């Protein structure tokens, strides 16, 4: 699992590779987390997450769904906190 999140102004980019059968709505997860931590602005989300290569997939932990959701949420929170300190 290698999914990252970058935020610049009102633009959220979620990108990377994953290999899971779960159908995750990355945009909804990111927007809900942004609102949960107190940001009320409108954000535009672009998601580019492709299937992970078999070589990488076989080398990572099998508990990917929980790890992915946790990672996306943590990344969004971290970037939003960084943006808050830059104002």
pLDDT digits 0-9 by tens, 56-67: 656 555 555 566
pLDDT category, 10, cuts 50, 70, 90?
very high
Is the pTM higher than 0.95? The answer reads: no
Quickly count: other Cβ atoms within 10 Å of residue 85's Cβ. Answer: 6
Mean pLDDT, the chain, rounded, equals 80
Read off the tokens for 33. 């987390």
Which residues are within 8 A (CB) of 46 and not within 5 positions of it... i.e. 6 or more apart? 11, 12, 13, 14
- Please write the tens of the pLDDT for every residue from 19-34: 778 888 999 999 999 9
Report CA-CA distances (Å) from 3 to 9, 40, 57. Answer: 20, 24, 13
Alpha-carbon span 45 to 29, nearest angstrom:
11
Read off the tokens for 73. 């949420």
């Amino acid at each position: 699992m290698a999914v990252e999140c970058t935020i610049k102004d009102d633009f959220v980019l979620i990108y990377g590779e994953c290999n899971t059968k779960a159908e995750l709505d990355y945009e909804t997860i990111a927007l809900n987390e942004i609102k949960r931590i107190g940001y009320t602005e409108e954000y535009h989300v672009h998601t580019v997450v492709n299937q992970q290569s078999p070589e990488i997939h076989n080398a990572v932990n099998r508990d990917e769904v929980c790890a992915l959701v946790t990672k996306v949420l943590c990344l969004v929170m971290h970037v939003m906190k960084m943006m808050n300190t830059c104002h």
